[in-house]
Structure 1
Amino acid sequence: MDTVIRQRLKGLRLAKGWSLDALAARCFMSPSTLSRIETGHRRIALDQLVPLAKALGTSLDQLVEPTSDEDVVIRPEPEHQVGLSVWMLSREHSSNGTTVAKMRITPERTMANLELSVHPGREWFTVLSGTVSLVLGERTILVGEGQAAEFSTMVPHRIGAHEGPVEILTIMDHGGERAHLHPEHAAD
């Protein structure tokens, strides 16, 4: 873990274009102490990490977060509803407030004539295979494989399959996630 923290400290310093002297002045340590920390010739103390994190514009949590594959690799398990399978491709409570998901929509969902959804925000999707039937208010727009759509979710909308199954990659804000992936909580 020490090695990872040292690499992060040096990487952040270099990314800002700072010398050891410049960082030392910002965190009230000597350049030689910082050099020994970065090279592993001195142990890192907690009371040193706090001013270093602050000076580098990051948090202590980000400096010491684990580095196992679990913090990088997402292994989604599909959730199924009638005519819809969803693979969550982003972590719950992502820092930027968006949700990324892969969806497979079949004509069964489209034939269910689900109500149009309205919520604050924007949505984006790209079609991986098939053709999407995107209903926006009074319009129905066909979005084909390799095409993308972005729209205000304040317009009543519904995403369905046109003449066969469709797979999309979608990015939704918090409102979109609640309305489309957790409809039982959309009114909360």
Structure 2
Amino acid sequence: MDELKHLGPRLRAMRKARGWTLEGLARRAGVSVSTVSRLESGKRQASLELLLPLTRQLGIRIDDLVRPEVPDPRVRRPTVQRGGMIITPLAPVGSPVHTFKISYPPVSTVPELQVHDGFEWLYVLTGRLRLLLGDQDLILTPGEAAEFDTRTPHAIFASGSRSAEVLSIFNGEGARIHTRTAEDE
């Protein structure tokens, strides 16, 4: 198990973060200094019998010492096109935060206002974005942000003759409505 190879260095880091010596931790946990030293250096195999008193004294869980490696953080999801929008996912599937870069094309007719469960936050990267929200007709330019409850009637599209690129963050309901593809339906 690869997780176990990091147990010793994590144990050492936790001990040092508290400013404790090998002797101090060993005394508190009721184990020998040699045992703590060998655990930290990887020269002794860890057992529950050894780890329980050490983790209790350090105020941590055993899971804190054997947590799995950090997975590759890169997001590799395909860009999709829907209704002229280009939608690039910026978070992995199953992420608690649904984040996308969306390119809104210019439109010839104003789209109908939508109402649905959800919440949205957006930030304009390039272009001019028109946000119809309830009785408001807003133009957002690069560097401007907006957040709103999607139960308010709304429509979002590029203003003018150029596309507008936006970073959008949705809760789960908002993401399903705004970013679904033909395969999802």
Matched-pair contact (CA < 8 Å) for 1:130–1:167:
yes
Q: For residue 66 of structure 1, what is the amino acid of its counterpart?
A: E
Give the match's secondary structure for 2:176: helix
Matched-pair contact (CA < 8 Å) for 1:124–1:149:
yes
Relative distance call for 1:22 and 1:45 in structure 2 (3 A) is closer
Matched-pair contact (CA < 8 Å) for 1:24–1:34:
no
Q: For residue 41 of structure 2, what is the amino acid of its counterpart?
A: T
- Tell me, which stretches of 5 or more residues in structure 1 are unaligned? none
Q: Percent identity?
A: 26
The aligned counterpart of 1:56 is 60
Count of matched residue pairs: 176
Matched, 1:80 2:84: no
Alignment of 1:87-166 (within 5 A): 87-94=88-95, 97-108=96-107, 111=109, 113-120=111-118, 122-163=119-160, 164-166=162-164
Matched-pair contact (CA < 8 Å) for 1:117–1:158:
no
The aligned counterpart of 2:177 is 179
Higher gyration radius (CA): 2
The aligned counterpart of 1:40 is 42
- TM-score calculated relative to the size of structure 1: 0.70
Residue deviations 1:15-69, cap 9 Å, x none? 6x474656996xx67474444333322234578778959x525847x944234xx
Q: For residue 173 of structure 1, what is the amino acid of its counterpart?
A: N
Cα distance in 2, alignment partners of residues 107 and 125 from structure 1: 18
Q: For residue 150 of structure 1, what is the amino acid of its counterpart?
A: E
- Structure 1 residue 136: deviation in Å? 1.0
Q: For residue 85 of structure 1, what is the amino acid of its counterpart?
A: I
What is the RMSD of the two structures over their aligned residues, measured on CA atoms? 3.8
Cα distance in 2, alignment partners of residues 119 and 24 from structure 1: 57
